[in-house]
Amino acid sequence: MTLVADMPGAANAQGLSQSQKAGILLLAAVALMLARPILPDAMVRLPEWAIPPLAPMLDALFNFIKDDLGLIHLTRFLTGQLEVLLDATANLLYGKRRWPNLGPIPWPAIAAAGAVLGYALGGWRMAVFAGGTFIWTALVGQWKIAMQTMSVLTVAAPVAFLVGLGLGILAWKYRGFDRVIKPILSVLQTLPFFTYLLPAVIFFKVGPTAGAVATIVYAIPPMILMTTLGLRKVPAEVVEAGKMSGCTRLQMLTRVYIPAARTEILVGVNQVIMLCLAMVVLTAFIGMPGLGAKLLSNMGSFKIGNSFEIGVTIVLLAIMLDRMSKAWVLKQPEHFERGTPWWKRNVYLIGFVGAFVVFLGISVLAASLPNVLADDLSLRNLPGYIGGILDEVTRKQSLSNGKEIDTAIKGFLAIDGIQAVTEWLRWFLNVKVLIPFRNAMLWVPTPAFILLVMAFAWWLAGRREALIAGLFFTLVAFSGWWDRSVITLYTVISATILAMMIGIPLGIFASRSERWAGRILLACDTAQTFPSFIYLIPAIMLFGVNDVAVVFSILIFATVPLTRYTIEGLRTVPPEMTEAADMSGASRLQKLLSVQLPLALPTMAVGFNQAIMFAFFMVIIAAFIGTQDLGQELQRTLAGTDLGKNFVLGMNVSLMALTFDLIITKWAETRKQALGLG
Amino acid sequence: MKKLTTALVAGVLAMPMTAFAADSDDPIVIPIHNWSSQIVMSNVVGQIFESMGNNVEYVTTDSQAVYESVRLGDVTLELEVWEGAFGASFRAALEKGGLHDAGDHDAVTREDWWYPMWTKEACPGLPDWKALNDCAELFKTAETGDKGRYLDGPVDWLKHGQERVAALGMDFVVVNAGSAAALWAEIGAAEADKTPVVVFNWTPNFAEAVWPGEFVEFPEWVDGCDKDPSVGPNPDALYDCGNPATGYLKKAAWDGMKDKWPSAYDVLTRISFTNPQIAEMAKLVDVDEMEPEEAAEEWLAANEDIWKPWVETGS
């Protein structure tokens, strides 16, 4: 508790301004750093004996809950239930030999039904996109693995939706429950996904069930938050109207509140689907078959081209699901005149079933047609080829071009100009920037480091945030993983700073014209939905196994929210402000620097916050390149049964991420109020 | 055709099987990891079991965590237990109980410093380790200064590269990759302009087919090199030898397998693959781009004389 001893200096200074108090903390930190040569070792790093054996204690606790309280019996029972559901979707989608033994549904039937659904939700463009995505998946020969992924998604997303909706309603009804659940949700949202995986395996058996559970838990928090948000916003008049018509309590909920909160709930659904898809891919690490597993094994045997094709499939699926569920949010329920015939009310349903049945029949008939191999494909036998693939696309019929893409990517990376640039960047960043920065951060004594973080928090946010920041980082120090935590933080900060240098100018540039804004936002969407670990291989090939590759792979993810929110922030600057600037004769640069950017800053802060969260997420995955941070240790725990250690490591990441989240959110709020932006 | 084989095999098995209780109808769960030879081998063995009338199911699992799953019976067996890579996890699970050693393959495994062939052109004295050390400067990178860089496997593979460099006084800096994929990416990047690299590698492995190369010859492994400083050329240091050139490749089985699927268990103990066979399996997937199931079918069709005896001599 060396910290408390340093605190009085700050506590005495009651009458000072926020930044002056922060300055005092900063001075204390600097003093400690200057005194480093004469500091006792215990002040530089916590001595071994002061670190409580957290991991073994947690292990004992987990074992007690698991075996003595019998939680394992409950979870294994649930595993059984979940397995029935998963087996059923697995049978329907890719023909696993389980009840109901009907599948696999031929791909054209699913593609046709998907296209009709797309039409119902978003018109022709959506129909073409949905159908096209399914056709692409089938043609490149990934139908089966994509359906393995979808079979888990079709179970996990509805379960996450229902559980999230239920908990959200509870949190809305009961204040106390809300207060308990809020902090838990914040932790869950910042916990690295490796921490979800291990308990899932231990409690829910290796394979799809564990994957589904990890996915569900990962996707629930935003659903809860959106549900409570939506229900709170229901206007009082609507509630009055419901009461006047004599609704029972259940009717109030199902007929009044939930329909009125429809938009927020559907936004929640959209997030559930997207998070499920992201997680389902990552659960390959604990043995979930499907696109993620194939991607991992392709990377393990250096098939870049095939990995890339799988990446494209995942992006297409993600964008399709995202656009469809967003279209559902926008689409208002249709109301029909009394007496409209049944078929007219349900025209899309009939279309959906009809398309499904027709194409099912076609593919059953097509099963007996001869197959034309992809190698022999020409314009003349195209009809024959199409006939041959309508039942199933076999490997020799698929149009995958893995090897060609391989050659193209390797050729691109070998261009002299690119090599020279990356070689220089690698030298400059590593030798001149990153390694000195890392050494400097590791050099700082632990108490000084904590004071620095507190000073930062006090300066930007205030006393409460500074105290919480201090507490969180002290906990990290007592976890016994200080150095690794600092290295994690160093990577996150380096990547975020570089991301700002790229993302913000890009956003400023894009916000100047609608066309460019649209293009760059689309690029952002794509970069973000690309499965995160696909960036690792090109990063290594460009920069080698070192910190530059790690930072580079994080950079891609961290730049996206910065660009997005810069565009968003600049676009929403009130026009009267820019007009005022124009009238007072400000130059373009002046207008940007003194009017637009300051007004956009609170929104940009949200992007900055997300960038940091993404960086914390990605730094853990970057352990695959080779790091010495928390991610490396976390990855190691996955191989074993060190639940306690896994949890401690995960909490460290979470505590650091939460500190930043807290500070930046508070700052953005205060700024917004000060600027009168609501 | 497949039905015919099934009938034949079942017929052959019918007689000796009377000695046992029949195999359970529950699926035999075979774990699959993220490298090709293991996936194909698992499919080969799975299809052999299926031809005997068993149900088989595959699950993808982590290659270290799998021993815990075998122990609990969540998966039934493991076909590739590498001495160097998984020996520790295997022995740990063995001590806890629940799984056992189901015999060795003929194949031997080797893991050590390795270089792709083009490196030899720049440093002709290879594969001798002293020659490698004399060329250390060829392997330098931006971060390693004048010293050469050796890219070791992930830290948790415990390959003691660092210790060996110190024990033999080599001018190398050891950098740990985070995954096998990172090793391949480095070799792949070096391939373009034939940059010399020296990395951790092992055999049997698909990489042999993609990038021909050789292991560096260190002072030969002597028992005790990792425990007794006096063993090996440097009298004061551990790890002053190369790794054993002939490590084991084992099979492991869940203790309950013997009673639940006696005939399948019997076949499992007799299964044994050689290095060329394993390399061939990997090649079918990595170079010929087949799907693992197809590759297994192809291998079984082409090698009946190898696997039929395992099934037929059941007693």
As a whole number of angstroms, the distance between CA A449 and CA A469 comes to 11
How does pLDDT run across B44-72, given as a tens digit for each residue?
Answer: 999 999 999 999 988 877 787 788 889 98
**Together in a domain, B48 and B33:** yes
Token pair of A285 as six digits: 């690490």
Judge: A293–B34 Cβ closer than 8 Å, yes or no.
yes
How many domains does chain B divide into? 2
What's the pLDDT score for residue A43? 84
Judge: B62–A287 Cβ closer than 8 Å, yes or no.
yes
Q: Least CB-CB distance to A300: which of B89, B181, B187?
A: B181
Contact of A304 with A409, CB cutoff 8 Å: yes
What's the pLDDT score for residue A405? 85
Token pair of A565 as six digits: 């929110």
What's the pLDDT score for residue A305? 86
Q: Which of residues 281-300 of B touch A (CB under 8 A)?
A: 285-286, 289-291, 294
Token pair of A222 as six digits: 């935003």
**Together in a domain, B115 and B103:** no
pLDDT classification of B12: cutoffs 50, 70, 90: very low
Confirm whether B65 is domain-assigned: yes
Average pLDDT over residues A487-513: 94
Judge: B178–A632 Cβ closer than 8 Å, yes or no.
yes
Question: B149 or B7: which carries more pLDDT confidence?
Answer: B149
What's the pLDDT score for residue A486? 96
**Together in a domain, B253 and B294:** yes
How does pLDDT run across A600-609, given as a tens digit for each residue?
Answer: 998 899 899 9
Tell me what percent of the residues of chain A surpass a pLDDT of 70. Answer: 97
As a whole number of angstroms, the distance between CA A605 and CA A504 comes to 11
Confirm whether B226 is domain-assigned: no
Last residue of a domain, one of B192, B215, B238: B215
Q: Is A141 left (phi over 0), alpha (psi -120 to 50) or beta?
A: left
Confirm whether B183 is domain-assigned: yes
pLDDT classification of A524: cutoffs 50, 70, 90: confident
pLDDT classification of A5: cutoffs 50, 70, 90: very low
pLDDT classification of B18: cutoffs 50, 70, 90: very low
Instruction: Provide CB contacts within 8 A for A323, sequence distance 6+.
Output: A122, A126, A129
| Test mutation, A394, A545, A624, chain B, max B CBs within 10 A | A545
Out of A461-470, B7-16, B18-27, give the one with best mean pLDDT: A461-470
**Together in a domain, B120 and B99:** no
Average pLDDT over residues A51-57: 90
Instruction: Provide CB contacts within 8 A for A659, sequence distance 6+.
Output: A453, A457, A468, A469, A472, A473
Whether the predicted model's global pTM rises above the 0.80 cut: yes
As a whole number of angstroms, the distance between CA A152 and CA A161 comes to 14
What's the pLDDT score for residue A639? 65
pLDDT classification of A15: cutoffs 50, 70, 90: low
Chain B residues inside the 8 Å CB shell of A640: 64-65, 68, 89
**Phi, psi of B8, rounded to the nearest 5 degrees:** -60, -50
As a whole number of angstroms, the distance between CA A178 and CA B175 comes to 48
Q: What is the pairing mode between strands B148-152 and B172-176? A: parallel
Chain A CB within 8 Å of residue B24 CB: no
pLDDT at A237 over 70: yes
User: Number of helices and strands (H, E) in chain B?
Assistant: 14, 10
Tell me which residue range forms the domain holding B30. Answer: 2-108+247-312
How does pLDDT run across A595-645, given as a tens digit for each residue?
Answer: 899 889 988 998 999 899 999 989 988 888 888 889 888 887 876 667 889
What's the pLDDT score for residue B21? 56
Judge: A625–B177 Cβ closer than 8 Å, yes or no.
yes
Question: B64 or B73: which carries more pLDDT confidence?
Answer: B73
For B128, the 3-state DSSP assignment is strand
As a whole number of angstroms, the distance between CA A457 and CA B61 comes to 43
Average pLDDT over residues A564-583: 89
Eight-class DSSP state of A337: -
For A195, the 3-state DSSP assignment is helix
Chain A CB within 8 Å of residue B163 CB: no
**Together in a domain, B17 and B67:** yes
Last residue of a domain, one of B193, B215, B237: B215
**Together in a domain, B186 and B125:** yes
pLDDT classification of A507: cutoffs 50, 70, 90: very high
Lowest mean pLDDT among A75-84, B3-12, B259-268: B3-12
Provide Rg for chain B, Cα atoms.
Answer: 22
Sign of CA dihedral A164, A165, A167, A168: positive
pLDDT classification of A168: cutoffs 50, 70, 90: very high
Q: Least CB-CB distance to A430: which of B142, B176, B294?
A: B142
Chain B residues inside the 8 Å CB shell of A304: 188
For B290, the 3-state DSSP assignment is coil
What's the pLDDT score for residue A370? 80
| Test mutation, B37, B42, B43, B60, chain A, max A CBs within 10 A | B60
pLDDT at A328 over 60: yes
* CATH label of the domain that carries residue B70: 3.40.190.10
**CA distances (Å), A7 to each of A21, A23, A112, B181, in order?**
11, 13, 67, 48
What's the pLDDT score for residue B49? 94
What DSSP letter does each residue of A126-184 carry, written as one string?
A: HHHHHHHHHHHHHHTT-HHHHHHHHHHHHHHHHHHHHHHHHHHHHHHH-HHHHHHHHHH
How does pLDDT run across B136-184, given as a tens digit for each residue?
Answer: 999 998 888 889 999 998 877 778 888 899 999 999 999 989 888 889 8
Token pair of A393 as six digits: 């696309």
Q: Provide the angle, in degrees to the nearest 10, between the axes of the packed helices A107-139 and A347-366.
A: 70
**Together in a domain, B100 and B133:** no
**Together in a domain, B192 and B257:** no
Q: CA nearest A541: which of A405, A402, A411?
A: A411
Largest CA distance in chain B: 70
* CATH label of the domain that carries residue B204: 3.40.190.100
**Together in a domain, B130 and B196:** yes
How many residue pairs from chains A and B have C-beta atoms closer than 8 A?
A: 146
pLDDT classification of B132: cutoffs 50, 70, 90: very high
**Together in a domain, B103 and B252:** yes
For residue B233, the distance in angstroms to the closest alpha carbon of chain A comes to 31
**Together in a domain, B124 and B201:** yes
Lowest mean pLDDT among A311-325, A519-533, B245-259: A519-533
Chain A CB within 8 Å of residue B302 CB: no
What's the pLDDT score for residue A477? 94
Q: Please report how many Cα atoms fall inside a 13 Å half-sphere around the Cα of residue A312, on the Cβ side.
A: 21
pLDDT classification of A138: cutoffs 50, 70, 90: very high
Chain A residues inside the 8 Å CB shell of B201: none
Contact of A107 with A393, CB cutoff 8 Å: yes
What's the pLDDT score for residue B19? 43
- Look-up of token digits 């009168």: A676
Judge: A410–B155 Cβ closer than 8 Å, yes or no.
no
As a whole number of angstroms, the distance between CA B278 and CA A92 comes to 35
**Together in a domain, B28 and B87:** yes
What's the pLDDT score for residue A640? 66
Fold classified for A415-444+479-675? MetI-like fold (1.10.3720)
What DSSP letter does each residue of A607-619 carry, written as one string?
A: HHHHHHHHHHHHH
